[in-house]
Amino acid sequence: MSEVSRFWNDQADGYGRSVDSDWVERSHHRVTADLLNRELEDGRILCVGGPWVAADLGLDLTVLDISVGMLRLYARAGMTPILGDGRQPPLADSSFDHVVVPLVLHHITGRGAASARENVRRAVRAAARLLEPGGRLWIKEIVVPAPIYALELFLAPLTRAALAAKKIPLVIFHTDRFLRRALSEAGLTDVRSIVSDSPDERWYDRIAPVIGLPRLRVPRLLVPVRYRLIVGERA
């Protein structure tokens, strides 16, 4: 079992409750979920790492996750669970009309900056292969400005060591530009970035910046990130 799957197995029981209790995080989720529920009206839908599409809309909804614990949650909600890695999904090419990757790519890091960037590219290429021609990839991510990104990549070894002390895998947030380029390199067209920040968010809201450290709360102003929904279409 990888350190990432072990971490999410440990988080599974309390994850839903932690999101529900954090209205800032919940409001960001709601913005994206509302958009996806409008756009994904039919067809076969794969969510990689968690569903942000309502299960009660009568959609053909499959969830791929590396955590058995998280998959149990999705199965209870009526979704088809599949155990697997988003970088090498155990699924046939051209088998979905939509692939949704919600707040997952910053967790697919490996041991450092170079592996984090390559793992994002691998996951995007894998998702693109799963799409039917004309199908769309939807990636919800937390993005950072270029200077913060450069600092993140430089400090990745120290960040990994600090998080490992709490048994938390390395997390690296990428730039909007890097993610859009990854979609284009995977052969997707009409790549665009949609602002998905919550209109209800305030600078002084106290948020938990690290999953696994729920007691760590800081003002939103101190966390220089934005939320984006990045979309691309398979030609």
> With b meaning 16 or more CB within 10 Å and e meaning fewer, what string describes 78-108?
ebebbeebbbebebeeebbbbbbbbbbbbbb
Average pLDDT on 104-112 reads 90
Tell me which H or E stretch contains 118.
helix 113-130
The pLDDT tens digits for 17-75 are 444 444 445 566 677 777 777 777 778 999 998 766 555 556 788 999 998 888 888 88
Check residue 107 and report its DSSP letter. Answer: G
pLDDT band at 215; cut points 50, 70, 90: confident
Question: Model-level pTM?
Answer: 0.87
* Distance from C-alpha of 79 to C-alpha of 96, rounded to nearest angstrom: 15
Which pLDDT value is given to residue 85? Answer: 93
Q: How high is the pLDDT of residue 18?
A: 45
Domain residue extents for the chain: 3-234
Query: Is the separation of the CB atoms in 126 and 108 below 8 Å?
Result: no
Superfamily of domain 3-234: Vaccinia Virus protein VP39 (3.40.50.150)
Beta-carbon contacts of residue 58 (< 8 Å; ≥ 6 apart):
none
pLDDT at 209 over 90: no
| Helix, strand or coil, per DSSP, at residue 175 | coil
Q: What is the pLDDT of residue 188?
A: 98
